[in-house]
């Protein structure tokens, strides 16, 4: 009798292969300056175990420090623009062009206007603020709000075109009366840059910088403001302090109405005054202050939710921080990258220093820049090439 061989059996491992952990879903809301700096860090070294999505309303973004140069010289405008679509492909993050309309931190979900809701594990909000007196710059065609930065050059060009057409139709040739409301860094740079652009293109212009404060740009210090006053005088730009704009009358030639009853002719007004949260912040279910800004800790986390981070002008920060500074945005972006890396590695988070940021470098609109160094005001082309183009 032929014996039947026993069936061969395969050894069975006593230990099953452990499944790989799910990647952390990182979500950046908005392409503000802090998030652009985060993405520069990410491009150099993506965070292991993290899948990153940038959700923003545009497929392009603006490098804020380069925008004044683009306003002064249209040939430089493109240098201020970041191609987010191309960058996402080369840097390895996902770009979703849409508007966030709600944030639910309990469900860890962001509702979009046109796409399905986006789930996340970590989210950072960098959608910026908007200028104050929304009704004024939204309802009058002669008044342009500075936000969004991305569309400002195009909106400015369109308004100048409309004014020129109107001049031709009326058969007149009057100087353009232009006002910039708000004497912060943005307002000062826009006034200097736009006046240079108009002069270079042969448009006669009466430029006025208005501010409701009786003191000129106190945040810049006396050394810089003294030099700026001299520069305004050299270029015949008018500086009007203690001048609060309350309304615009465009029933005839456009005029700005001041709180003291005076009127200022303004064919073109750039509104850079004040700051308030974007309306969508009301739909973000995290801690907010009385004005509606998102409250953050020194680690840049929301005071109410550890997995929500707050960046830029949308936030209210502790310790005397300065969210309107370009240097502050860079510091925030780098800290966000470091703290997400630490969060993924279960390490303690770092806090942002409360030291005042370095003195800003202001674009003077003529390919020179101005800053303070060693107690002296320094203006040079080298500064402009290093920081503004």
| Residue 321 clears pLDDT 80, i.e. is over it | no
Which residue's entry shows tokens 């456009």? Answer: 254
Predicted confidence band at 17 (pLDDT cuts at 50, 70, 90)? low
Question: Mean pLDDT across the chain, nearest whole number?
Answer: 90
Predicted confidence band at 24 (pLDDT cuts at 50, 70, 90)? very high
| Residue ranges matching CATH 3.50.50.60 in the chain | 24-129+276-344, 134-274
Provide the CATH number for the domain formed by 24-129+276-344 in this structure. Answer: 3.50.50.60
* CATH class (in words) of the domain with range 134-274: alpha beta
Query: What per-residue confidence (pLDDT) applies to 173?
Result: 86
Q: Please calculate the CA angle 284-288-292 and round it to the nearest 5 degrees.
A: 85
Those residues with Cβ within 8 angstroms of residue 155's Cβ, 6 or more apart along the chain or in another chain = 144
Query: What per-residue confidence (pLDDT) applies to 271?
Result: 95
The CA distance from 76 to 56, in Å, is 24
Phi, psi of 93 (to 5 degrees): -125, 160
Predicted confidence band at 324 (pLDDT cuts at 50, 70, 90)? low
Instruction: Indicate the DSSP class of residue 204.
Output: -
Q: How far is CA 294 from CA 11, 159, 316, 379, in A?
A: 59, 34, 6, 37
Query: What per-residue confidence (pLDDT) applies to 138?
Result: 86
């Amino acid at each position: 009798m032929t014996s039947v061989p026993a069936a061969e059996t395969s050894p069975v491992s006593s230990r099953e292969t452990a499944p790989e952990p799910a990647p952390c879903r990182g979500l950046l809301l908005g392409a503000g300056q802090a998030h652009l700096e985060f993405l520069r860090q990410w491009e150099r070294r993506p965070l292991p175990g993290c899948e990153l999505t940038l959700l923003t309303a545009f497929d392009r973004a603006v490098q804020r420090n380069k925008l004044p140069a683009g306003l002064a010289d249209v040939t430089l405008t493109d240098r201020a623009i970041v191609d987010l679509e191309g960058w996402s492909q080369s840097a390895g993050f996902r770009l979703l062009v849409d508007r966030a309309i709600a944030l639910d931190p309990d469900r860890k979900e962001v509702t979009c206007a046109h796409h399905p809701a986006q789930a996340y594990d970590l989210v950072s909000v960098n959608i910026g603020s908007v200028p104050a007196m929304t009704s004024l710059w939204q309802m009058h065609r002669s008044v342009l709000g500075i936000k969004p930065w991305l569309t400002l050059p195009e909106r400015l060009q369109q308004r100048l075109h409309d004014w020129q057409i109107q001049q031709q139709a009326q058969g007149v040739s009057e100087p353009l009366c232009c006002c910039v409301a708000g004497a912060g860094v943005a307002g000062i740079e826009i006034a200097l840059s736009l006046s240079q652009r108009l002069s270079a293109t042969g448009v006669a212009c009466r430029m006025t910088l208005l501010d409701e404060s009786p003191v000129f740009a106190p945040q810049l210090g006396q050394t810089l403001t003294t030099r700026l006053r001299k520069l305004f005088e050299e270029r015949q730009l008018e500086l009007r302090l203690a001048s609060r704009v309350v309304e615009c009358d465009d029933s005839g030639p456009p005029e700005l109405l001041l709180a003291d009853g005076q009127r200022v002719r303004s064919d073109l007004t750039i509104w850079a005054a004040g700051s308030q949260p974007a309306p969508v912040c009301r739909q973000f279910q995290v801690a907010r202050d009385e004005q509606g800004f998102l409250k953050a800790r020194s680690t840049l986390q929301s005071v109410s939710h550890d997995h929500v981070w707050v960046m830029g002008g949308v936030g209210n920060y502790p310790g005397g921080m300065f969210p309107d500074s370009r240097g502050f945005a860079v510091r925030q972006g780098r800290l966000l990258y470091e703290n997400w890396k630490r969060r993924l590695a279960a390490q303690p988070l770092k806090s942002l220093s409360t030291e005042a940021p370095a003195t800003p470098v202001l674009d003077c609109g003529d390919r020179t820049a101005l800053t303070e160094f060693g107690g002296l005001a320094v203006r040079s082309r080298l500064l402009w090439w290093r920081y503004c183009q």
